[in-house]
Structure 1
């Protein structure tokens, strides 16, 4: 039986491994233990997992910065796709946003990830042509001497 819940700290290494198999990993910085641990420390409810027994079968990050609602890392186990898991994860993320007073959600979806476009469109999302995403890689902080 599948349940949706916040990820647990002990599951973070398994989630990183899950993303290597189930998530789109092109055109993005590599996921790291430090990054996922920082997310979990800052906002433990942001990383929502779909779990069947003890197996992670889906994820989404529902980031809320106090102003905007952002969705990242929607991923479903390849063997479990087309079962509605992704849609349930999106709905859970949107419920989370509404509980904070969020009024609009955006999703990070690679243009070349055609498989992902269908699920996002099916749940009411569409590209916003008047906006472009601008990015800058941040250098690591300097280590104090």
Structure 2
């Protein structure tokens, strides 16, 4: 069907046009934690109110939230675009299951990359679980690739 891809692109654009991107606020924290519990694969030791509040206190613009124009109070997607002055780190790219395949993840990544560019960042990296196949497709579609020569080394810090 020759017009099928154009039709799909037009439908995608209409759905994406209804998405609003903004930075998170402290009032969003409970809804963000709920979204991450439903939509993000794997939990982080900082997935709690104190952890997200500390993130927002340190860098109020780093947590980008997608909502719909119809319901601007309910997050349907997120990405943390952390900048430490040296590196650009992406975490918690998550889209609500009932809002996937609408361009929300791509819009969030584009906003994060714009933030990084404005701050002087040169390369963005993302934390992606090895067994998160749907996540791999999203990251690959946005131009990200794994670097097999790197491994993540971690050490939990005392409370």
Q: Which runs of 4+ in 1 moved over 3 A?
A: none
Q: Distance in 2 between matches of 1:119 and 1:130?
A: 22
Q: What is the DSSP-based 3-state SS (H/G/I as helix, E as strand, rest coil) of the residue aligned with 2:136?
A: helix
Instruction: Point out the structure with max Rg over C-alpha.
Output: 2
Partner of 2:101: 82
Q: What is the DSSP-based 3-state SS (H/G/I as helix, E as strand, rest coil) of the residue aligned with 1:82?
A: coil
**Number of aligned residues:** 139
Q: What is the DSSP-based 3-state SS (H/G/I as helix, E as strand, rest coil) of the residue aligned with 1:56?
A: coil
1:30 positional shift: 5.7
Partner of 1:100: 119
Where structure 2 has 5 or more consecutive residues not aligned to the other structure, the ranges are 1-17
The 5-angstrom pairing of residues 96-135 of structure 1 reads: 96-135=115-154
- 1:20 aligned onto 2:45: no
- 1:32 aligned onto 2:48: yes
1:17 positional shift: 1.2
RMSD of Structure 2 on Structure 1 (CA): 1.0
Q: Distance in 2 between matches of 1:66 and 1:127?
A: 22
Partner of 2:75: 56
Q: What is the DSSP-based 3-state SS (H/G/I as helix, E as strand, rest coil) of the residue aligned with 2:22?
A: strand
Q: Distance in 2 between matches of 1:32 and 1:56?
A: 16
Residues 30 and 63 from structure 1, CA distance in 2 versus in 1: closer, same or farther, beyond 3 angstroms? closer
1:70 positional shift: 0.1
Return the TM-score normalized by structure 1. Answer: 0.92
Partner of 1:69: 88
Where structure 1 has 5 or more consecutive residues not aligned to the other structure, the ranges are 141-145
1:29 positional shift: 2.6
* Structure with higher helix content: 2
